[in-house]
A and B are shown apart, each in its own frame.
Chain A
Amino acid sequence: MAARVITITSGKGGVGKTTGVANIGVGLALEGKRVIVVDADIGLRNLDVVMGLENRIVYDVVDVVEGTCRLQQALIRDKRLPELHLLAAAQTHDKTAISPEQMVVLCDELRQHSDFVLIDSPAGIERGFQNAIAGADEAIIITTPEVAAVRDADRIVGLLEAHEKGSPRLIVNRIKPEMVKRGDMLATEDVIEILAIQLLGVIPEDENIIVSTNKGIPIALDGQTGAAVAFRNIARRVLGQDVPLLPISQQRRLLARMRHLVGRG
């Protein structure tokens, strides 16, 4: 079965792309899939640190693209999971070090060695974003339930469609159920109504994310809290499994409404 290349992007910075890539990657690996996660944020490398692999980087994505090393030399195997590998970003270059065309070639090579390639897109809509989506088959947009993030996400939806990357799926990150209940935070259904794309999952605000990043252990690995479960569920939905949303406020009604909104009956 052909590998799937998925770019995780957002537009706005700081909404949880890198954490998302790390944890969805872990979730897919836990389901037995061969996963390569790629940090496309050249110059501002972060995926390595979130995954706790920062001391194992010898070669990076620019080295691979320039032919300084073979791909296998650059792939860092996460020892906690048999089939999860990281291709780190370069730290001493910037986004112009790689072209979208080179990313397409790289993704084609990565497909030969995996079931899933997850690309961590940088924030923005410039070269870094163009690189990150060039080789992608599909995209996941991460947003938080805040005005600026949702506005940027909408722009990204438009850009992805313009680049013929299909209709992206949405993760709403950092939902605080109490604030939603009080009317002080946009609910997931509000965000879906504005963006009108399919919902992939909802991640609750979870302090344990910070703890897990401190330790360099992605929370989806063995966490039992809201965010950990949510990430693992998202991975299973990516695999096509029908996993109900966690019971955060009106999630069940939301699922039915969402299907209706995006015309899936």
Chain B
Amino acid sequence: MGFVNKLLGREPRSKDIAKQRLQLVVVRDRHFLSPGVMQTIKGEIIQAISKHIEVDEENTKLTLSRSAGHHRLIADIPIQGRGRRA
């Protein structure tokens, strides 16, 4: 609905903003996903992936979002280095 509004150049309705914000805040509350916990999760993901491939720690982002009816933890992990052709 927010997408349609954006497409038509309309301002999103305030209740849609409220709903999106509520959905995210409620998931954080339910899973106790404080910023501290998110940092810990991010650190552990970077650690695990770094075993196999070099990643850009500083620019790695972990976010909570909602799409297609599901809450999602999205890890955006830039790959570092050029690797090596086998």
CA separation between A183 and B15, bound complex, in Å? 6
Q: Which of A146, A147, A154, A184 contacts B13 (CB 8 A)?
A: A184
Number of interface residues, chain B, beta carbon within 8 A? 13
Which single member of B14, B15, B18, B29 contacts A154 (CB below 8 Å)?
Answer: B29
Within 8 A of A (CB), among B14-35: 14-16, 18-19, 21-23, 25-26, 29-30
- Name A185's closest neighbour in chain B (CB-CB): B15
The residues of A that contact B26 with a CB separation of less than 8 Å are 150-151, 154, 194
With A183-B13, A184-B13, A184-B14 as known contacts, state yes or no: A190 contacts B25, CB within 8 Å.
Answer: no
By DSSP majority rule, is chain A's interface helix, strand, loop, or mixed?
helix
Consensus secondary structure, chain B interface: helix
Which residues on the B side are within 8 Å of A183 (C-beta)?
13-16
Number of chain A residues close to chain B: CB under 8 A? 17
Chain A residue nearest in CB terms to B25: A151
Query: Contact residues of A with B, CB < 8 Å?
Result: 146-147, 150-151, 154-155, 158, 180, 182-187, 190, 193-194
Other contacts beyond A151-B22, A184-B14: 15, CB < 8 A: A146-B18, A147-B22, A150-B22, A150-B26, A151-B25, A151-B26, A151-B29, A154-B26, A183-B13, A184-B15, A186-B18, A186-B19, A187-B15, A190-B15, A194-B19
